[in-house]
Amino acid sequence: MGLKQLLMVFRAVMLQPRLFWKNFRDGGVYEAFDPLRDYAVAIIALVQLVKFPLIGEPRPAMIYALFNFILDIVILYLLSGIFNTVASRMKDGSGAACMQVIPCFALTPFWLVEPFFFAGFWGWFFAASGIFYTLVLFRLALLKCTGPDERLVTRTLFALQFAPAGAMVLAVFLQRAVIQLISR
């Protein structure tokens, strides 16, 4: 996926999530790429590169960026596994395929605010806003991907909100701890 396509998908995920998930579920435009490799890893890597000039010192910036990259990938795979398990219970094939990639796109706001986690009080504000918007994207994605399977929506939608919320809160505290360790 080229930079232009990456930015188009990024824009759709962040600014038009309902339309993005409807189009993703229906296929077409988004069938030609692997969301994990072409989108998620690219966004995570770009965000880690932004941290170098913000931190200013090469060694702490490298340690922090590597730790965050690994943590983001672990969270992504963990949530993808959880959503894959839920998708395996779905009757609708296109909805199941859509469910498997929800974390690849819905975690975008959280990844974008990571460079600001070390900004003192404002870091907590950015973390909270990133977590909130990520949960909104997860909810929209779940509603669009589950479609007519109302029983699945009512039973697991509320429970599925806890997995990303818990993972992101844990990530914020781990990242803040690493910031404290490397700033000494």
Note the maximum CA span of the chain. Answer: 54
Total domains, the chain = 1
pTM: 0.86
| Residue closest to 107 by CA, chosen among 40, 48, 38, 7 | 40
Q: Residue 11: inside a domain, yes or no?
A: no
| Residue closest to 132 by CA, chosen among 156, 100, 164, 157 | 164
Residue 94: what pLDDT?
Answer: 56
Residue 110: what pLDDT?
Answer: 92
Copy the structure tokens of residue 140.
Answer: 């929209």
Q: What is the span of the domain harbouring residue 77?
A: 34-183
Residue 38: what pLDDT?
Answer: 85
Distance of CA 73 to the CA centre of its chain: 10
> Average pLDDT per run of 10 along the chain, which is 184 residues long?
84 90 75 80 89 77 87 91 80 68 90 84 88 90 71 63 86 86 77
Residue 155: what pLDDT?
Answer: 62
Distance of CA 132 to the CA centre of its chain: 12
Residue 132: what pLDDT?
Answer: 92
Q: Residue 7: inside a domain, yes or no?
A: no
| Residue 60, CA distances (Å) to 43, 176, 181 in order | 21, 13, 10
Copy the structure tokens of residue 122.
Answer: 């404002």
Q: Residue 157: inside a domain, yes or no?
A: yes
| Residue 13, CA distances (Å) to 26, 66, 93, 101, 132 in order | 15, 25, 22, 12, 15
Identity (one letter) of the amino acid at 100? Q
Give the C-alpha separation, 169 to 10, whole Å: 23
Q: Residue 19: inside a domain, yes or no?
A: no
Q: Residue 138: inside a domain, yes or no?
A: yes
Copy the structure tokens of residue 100.
Answer: 């498997």
Residue 144: what pLDDT?
Answer: 80
Q: Residue 14: inside a domain, yes or no?
A: no
Residue 29: what pLDDT?
Answer: 65
Q: Residue 17: inside a domain, yes or no?
A: no
Secondary structure (3-state) at 64? helix
Which residues, 6 or more positions from 31, have their beta carbon under 8 angstroms from its beta carbon?
none
Residue 82: what pLDDT?
Answer: 86
Contact 98, 21 (CB under 8 A): yes
Other CB atoms within 10 Å distance of the CB of residue 34: 12
Residue 145: what pLDDT?
Answer: 77
Q: Residue 77: inside a domain, yes or no?
A: yes
